Homo-oligomer: A and B are copies of this chain.
């Protein structure tokens, strides 16, 4: 029987909203927001959308009116009672009351601040300005909206059965990956694919397929809404935006050199155990580790997010040994452009030498490569980054010069301060 009430209710929607909840975001955004809320609440920042795949003419594909409608809808969202209860009452990484009452009160009152949207050529300029804790919450929904509107633009030309077969193919493709991964002994994989997912429903499907297909080898998802709805672990620690903004705020080269460690000192006070994961590549992994204080070597692990991942892990292993730590007890989270082959290879190489773990992103939740003519649904490299803090430009170097960002003179200054020499350029997959 048709549920007439549902059908009639659905008439009322003016749009089909892409982001329907403030916790349809990465768990680490909330952890970082709490840290920022506590330590730097009034910092004025600008976040900006950057399409690193300029061959995708987003402004040609996506109607500006539709984009505005979706962004406007996000501005109407607020934390629901059930979402708040979940954040307040849940155990995250074995800890109760991860989110403190003052932060929760702030979050319950949060509405996302205005955005600035302008078409420039065949791309959009989309920026967000204001207090750091508010502005930072735009990153994930903004990316998810752009990614999904691009998907919809391609899908709207397709017939009903053509669509069903498209998803059938995508499901088959993912399931073949799952079938490969479940044969890999003791592998640990989390979903990190919210930001560049094909769509919300597709991410939700992928996560559930991982639950059934991988069992305990699937350790959770970075997406809070999906973690809540599917009763899974929410996964995540911290990201580049913390050192990037701290660095931009530094008054001198000395303060700049200290900024990345200051971030982790603040983090150290707040978190323990599996939340103490070093993200060392913002201004070059090797220099960061060489100059790191000893207490950092006691942290639980490291996340490798750029450069050659095996090389990054070897650097970390050598560093832990040099600091008298036992690498076999350390967690190494690989999270850069992963797909099955790379996961299998890295697990084989590092199992037993460290505790490897995988944050699988875009090629989990958006691998539509080869499924449409001219590869019109292939994922692409879209990011939303802090570009300014208190009027000063931010800089990211990373271990791959193609992921670097910031004004040329500032990049040169950072390279000098952090002692970054020659770097090997690597293709940015997604």
Contacts and interface: CB of A to CB of B under 8 A. Distances in A.
B5 A213 contact: no
A172 B161 contact: no
Taken together, the copies of this chain in the complex come to 2
Interface in A158-178: 159-162, 164-165, 167-169, 171-172, 175
A122 to B, nearest CB: 31
A171 B175 contact: no
Taking residues whose C-beta sits less than 8 angstroms from the other chain, chain A's interface range is 20 to 34
Contacts of A168: 167-169, 171-172, 175
A169 B164 CA distance: 11
A209 interface: yes
Given A1-B6, A3-B1, A6-B1, A165 B159 contact: no
Nearest to A179: B165
A427 interface: no
Contact of A172 (B159, B172, B208, B213): B172
Interface in A1-15: 1-3, 5-6
B171 A165 contact: yes
B209 A161 contact: yes
A375 interface: no
A213 B160 CA distance: 10
Nearest to A167: B168
Contacts of A311: none
A126 to B, nearest CB: 35
A6 B1 CA distance: 6
A175 B175 CA distance: 18
A171 B213 CA distance: 20
A165 B169 CA distance: 9
Contact of A162 (B1, B2, B212): B212
Interface of A: 1-3, 5-6, 159-162, 164-165, 167-169, 171-172, 175, 208-209, 212-213
Q: 4 shortest A-B CB distances, which residue pairs?
A: A168-B168, A168-B171, A165-B175, A161-B212
